């Protein structure tokens, strides 16, 4: 892992909500570890490839991976503050196997993200 990727990952892990490449670029400069936009994009792509980050579905923002197990990492994302948490569910995986059997598809991957309000945002509402 290069120093710049480390700095980028540290920023993403310490930030309370997922950030997109432009925001990462701005935040790195603010923290005194500037990186040009092209490098931000390239390093984000590399970290995604390594499985250390996940993209928020339908967005350019990325969040850190909370687990290191080689299994799928689903997330609940707060629509209020943007915070995300990973979860894994055996019953859910079993249900998805059922879909595979029913459709006859050979499934390579599945992406699942639930959106809602986290406990902190709910108590503020």
Contact residues toward Zn ion (CB under 5 A) are: 65, 72-73, 78, 80-81, 118, 121
**To the nearest whole angstrom, how small is the minimum distance from the Cβ of residue 119 to Zn ion?**
8
Q: Between 2 and 97, whose beta carbon lies closer to Zn ion?
A: 97
For residues 20 and 61, the answer to whether their CB atoms sit within 8 Å is yes
**To the nearest whole angstrom, how small is the minimum distance from the Cβ of residue 22 to Zn ion?**
22
Residue nearest Zn ion by beta-carbon distance: 73
Quick one: CA dihedral 67, 74, 53, 20, positive or negative?
negative
Helix (H, G, I), strand (E, B) or coil at 86: strand
Q: Between 11 and 118, whose beta carbon lies closer to Zn ion?
A: 118
Q: How big is the chain by its Cα radius of gyration, in Å?
A: 17
């Amino acid at each position: 892992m290069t120093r710049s990727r480390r700095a980028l990952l540290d920023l993403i892990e310490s930030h309370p909500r997922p950030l997109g490449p432009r925001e990462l670029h701005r935040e790195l400069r603010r923290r005194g570890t500037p990186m040009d936009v092209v490098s931000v994009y390239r390093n984000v792509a590399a970290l995604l490839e390594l499985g250390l980050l996940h993209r928020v579905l339908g967005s350019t923002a990325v969040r850190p991976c909370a687990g290191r197990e080689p299994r799928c990492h689903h997330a609940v994302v707060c629509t209020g503050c943007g915070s995300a948490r990973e979860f894994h569910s055996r019953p859910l995986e079993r249900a998805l196997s059922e879909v595979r059997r029913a459709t006859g598809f050979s499934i390579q991957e599945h992406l699942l993200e639930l959106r809602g309000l986290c406990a902190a945002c709910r108590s503020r509402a």
